[in-house]
Structure 1
Amino acid sequence: MPDARDLPDVQSLPGTLAFCVPGAGEHRADEVLPLASVGKLLLLASVAQGFVTGTLDPEERLTLLDQDYSAGSGLLLKLSAREWTLLDLARLTAAVSDNTATNALLRRVGLERVSAGAAALGLVHTRILDFIREPRLPEHPPTFAVGTARELAALVGGVAGERTWGALVMEWMAGCLDRSMVPAAIPHDPEDSSVPEVPVAGLWVANKTGTDVGTRCDVGVVRGARQVCYAVLTRCALGYEFEMVRGMREIGAVVGRIATA
């Protein structure tokens, strides 16, 4: 089975790449880095827990407010409907990383509740700091979310093993349309959003990505002969993002080999 010696040397990349693949290897796994939209996983976990416990109704309809709308990733900024169910908004947040859906859900759930939920899951450094803002001004928190590769790998491992609210989050992550980073080097069907048990014939991926200027992040679960969780966080100067993505894909190739071994 591939091990830590198979993971690429990331020292030569033009920026910081931190990763954690539990049981295989890690690098700068405890360094706190900006997460961009990977931070939305904390919100999705809180929403899923609310659905399972009954404190949130998946069919509750939420009207989008002007303050919710944000440029960047997503579809709602271009769509005409102003009212969506909480379940719709969660799916949009996971599938297309919709910034407007994220802001609406975060307004409904509350940042304090999301923070408390993250702490209850054992996250110390990984947290959402603010709403999505385009542009982000000096008076705002410096970024949407921060965290560490170790905590995020543990988070997705916990989600993958949790049979109630975790199963919901896994279903939403399986619908993620961005497979351009770590999963780009993993042979899988990106349209297969049904959550399988291990072992799986072939390879299956569920993930959440984050993209911002100088930031590319990807956290996910790969299932094949075995399950492998990963978190890869990068930070670099403007213009070097794709070189960091190439490094992420090298890690993805190893993750895929581990999952098939």
Structure 2
Amino acid sequence: MALGQSLHANLNRYLGTLPPAARVSLAVRSLADTTAFYQRADERLPSASLIKLPIMVEAMEAVRDGRLNPDEIYILQDSDKVGGSGVLQTYQHRSRIAYRDLITLMMTLSDNTATNILLRDLGMKAVNDRMRTLGLTQSQLNRMMMDTAAVARGVENYVTARELNGLLVQIYRGQVGTAPLCEQMLDILKRNEDTLTIPRLLPKTVAVAHKTGTLAYVRGDAGIVYARRPFVLSVLVQGLTTAEAERVIGELAAECFAVFNR
């Protein structure tokens, strides 16, 4: 059976076993050929921390353009600190941290405080403009992290699985910022400490460059899996508990890996 046929057969079979409540947005794409699979891939969904992927890209574009110096030191203020994921909220007032470390913490620990500091410097408009330039027409950054007042008004950030895949492909191919900056981004993504989703069932020796996201009503992951035939995979799951969604994402990644690692 051809690669594409195997992928479709595996994923359709697996998706057919899920409970009716599960809503899965899925985009899978080979990085070596045209093999791909899409289900609800263009559905615009609340992004959770997946929106930090295009924020990282804009930060690296700012580094390239000289608008952001990664070695510059930021002096953390108590007023910067927000809750949710991350460690900066536990740092002392006036702690010193380099911008390159803010970028890394935003991606590896999904640090919300680091994200908001970067967003204030970059500007939300710059991130949205960058997404449009790179072909992400449905994804949208509308609020800062942990802005509960905005959430209460129904203001949300959005992504689609297909567009996340497209952004990861551009990073993989060195098409954003510069090729060395893309390598830096991939290295950061490989250090993501949230391994409950795409890497969950994969061999520990297989590198995964990915960014996860979690809200009470959506669990997502978008990443590059360095199988024998590398592939990019973005999944957002709604309608299940967080633990169930994590299992589904891990099992979908394993189904894909079984095809692409032959």
TM tier relative to shorter chain: 0.7 to 0.9
Q: In structure 2, which of residues 134, 137, 142 is the aligned counterpart of residue 121 of structure 1?
A: 134
SS of aligned partner of 1:55:
coil
- In the other structure, the counterpart of 2:7 is 3
2:173 corresponding residue in structure 1: 161
The aligned residue for residue 150 of structure 1 is 162
Matching residue within 96, 102, 124 for 1:83: 96
* TM-score normalised by length of structure 2: 0.87
Verify the 8 A CA contact 2:54 2:127 in the aligned structure 1: yes
Q: 1:194 matched to which residue of 2?
A: none
Deviation per CA, 1:145-183: give whole Å up to 9, x if none. 211111111111111111233222211111100110121
Alignment match, 2:32: none
Amino acid at match of 1:18: S
- Identity rate of aligned residues, in percent? 28
Structure 1 pair 79–65 and aligned structure 2 pair: CA distance change class (3 A): closer
1:108: which partner in 2?
A: 121
> Which of 62, 68, 89 matches 1:50?
62
Alignment partners' CA distance in 2, 1:250 and 1:224:
15
Q: Does residue 224 in structure 1 map to residue 235 in structure 2?
A: no
Instruction: Answer whether contact 2:219 2:242 (CA < 8 A) is retained.
Output: yes
Equivalent position of 1:174 in the other structure: 190
Say what the alpha-carbon RMSD is for the aligned residues: 1.9
**Does the 8 Å contact 2:143/2:150 carry over to 1?**
no
- Aligned-partner Cα distance in 2 for 1:52–1:258: 37
Distance between the aligned counterparts of 2:189 and 2:122, measured in 1? 19
Instruction: Give the SS at the match of 1:208.
Output: strand
| Gap regions ≥5 residues in structure 2 | 30-34
Q: Which residue in 2 is equivalent to 1:38?
A: 50
TM-fit CA distance, 1:49: 1.4
1:141 positional shift = 5.0
Deviations 1:197-242 (A, max 9, x none): xxxxxx21111000111110000001131110010012226xx222
The alpha-carbon deviation at position 135 of structure 1 amounts to: 3.4
Which shifted more, 53-62 or 128-137?
Answer: 128-137
Per-residue deviation at 1:15? 3.1
Distance across 2 between alignment mates of 1:171 and 1:140: 37
SS at match of 1:17: strand
Change (3 A) 1:25 1:208: same
Range with bigger deviation, 9-18 or 30-39: 9-18
**Are the aligned partners of 1:45 and 1:165 in contact in 2 as well (CA < 8 Å)?**
no
Q: Spell out, residue by residue over 1:114-136, the C-alpha distance to the aligned partner (whole angstroms, 9 max, x if none).
A: 11111111000112211012534
Residues 74-125 of structure 1, C-alpha deviation per residue, up to 9 Å, x if partnerless? 0011122533111010010011000000011111111111111111110001
In the TM superposition, what is the alpha-carbon distance from 1:66 to its structure 2 partner? 4.1
Q: CA–CA distance in 2 between the matches of 1:228 and 1:106?
A: 30
Per mean C-alpha deviation after superposition, the further-off stretch among 5-14 and 38-47 is 5-14
Distance 1:138 1:160, change over 3 A: closer
Check conservation: 2:84, 2:146, Cα contact below 8 A: no
Equivalents in 2 of 1:227, 1:254: separation in Å? 14
Do residues 188 (structure 1) and 204 (structure 2) align? yes
Q: Mean alpha-carbon deviation: is it higher for 156-165 or for 209-218? A: 156-165
Structure 1 residue runs of 5 or longer lacking an equivalent are 190-202
**Could you tell me which of 23, 27, 32 is aligned with 1:20?**
27
- Equivalent residue pairs, number: 245
Match among 135, 140, 159 for residue 148 of structure 2: 135
